[in-house]
Each structure stands twice: as C-alpha cells, then as structure tokens.
Amino acid sequence: MENVIRVSVSEAARLFGVSEKTIRQAIKNQELHYIVANGRYKINFVSLIEWSQQSTRRYNLLATQGLGQYVDQWKIHNKKYSPNIGLAINKSR
C-alpha cells in the first residue's frame, strides 16, 4: 500500500501561500486530487505541488508566502555538517 500524504483545505492554503477560496476553486475545477473523509476534503500533497508549479503566480506565492519563505532558514550553515560533497572531498585531502 502506497503512503499518501493528504492535507486539509486550510493546511493547503497555509502551506502554499494562497487563500482557501483558491484551493476550493482548484478542487471545483478538478485541478487537484482529493478524497472526502468525514465530510472534509483531504487533498493529495503531490497534486498540490504539481498544481503550484503550473502557474508563475502560484509558484511565486509558494516561495514568498508559503513554505518557500523558510528555505533559507533550513540551510545548514556549519560546514562540518553540510551535505555538500565538495566539502567532504576537501576534508579528506
């Protein structure tokens, strides 16, 4: 059985930096894959990512108001723990 991540309309809106109305409109236009559980939409996270990349506006909102705004904070600044292969090669010399 495949593990599928599903999020609510409000979670999707918050994660992708758009309004709940925008998410509901995408559901109405069948642009997102979802199920209904206990009377609530549960949206497939992969379909949300694909949908967010189809429009420059949505892509920019993701980067500025959604999850993308935190990416710089997640970067590893301590070179000792950096996953950069180039740094690991230089250490071994």
Asked, for residue 48, whether it belongs to a domain, the answer is: yes
Q: Assess whether pLDDT exceeds 80 at residue 1.
A: no
85: domain range? 6-92
Asked, for residue 1, whether it belongs to a domain, the answer is: no
Domain count, the chain: 1
10 Å Cβ neighbour count for 61?
A: 18
* pLDDT tens-digit readout, 11-43: 999 988 899 999 999 999 999 999 999 999 999
- Tell me if residue 34 falls in helix, strand or coil: strand
Asked, for residue 69, whether it belongs to a domain, the answer is: yes
Of 84 and 2, more confident:
2
What is the per-residue DSSP string for 37-59?
ETTEEEEEHHHHHHHHHS-HHHH
E-strand ranges in 1-93 read 6-7, 34-37, 40-44
Q: What is the pLDDT of residue 74?
A: 63
* pLDDT tens-digit readout, 41-77: 999 999 998 998 888 888 788 778 877 777 776 666 6
Asked, for residue 56, whether it belongs to a domain, the answer is: yes
Chain center to CA of 90: 34
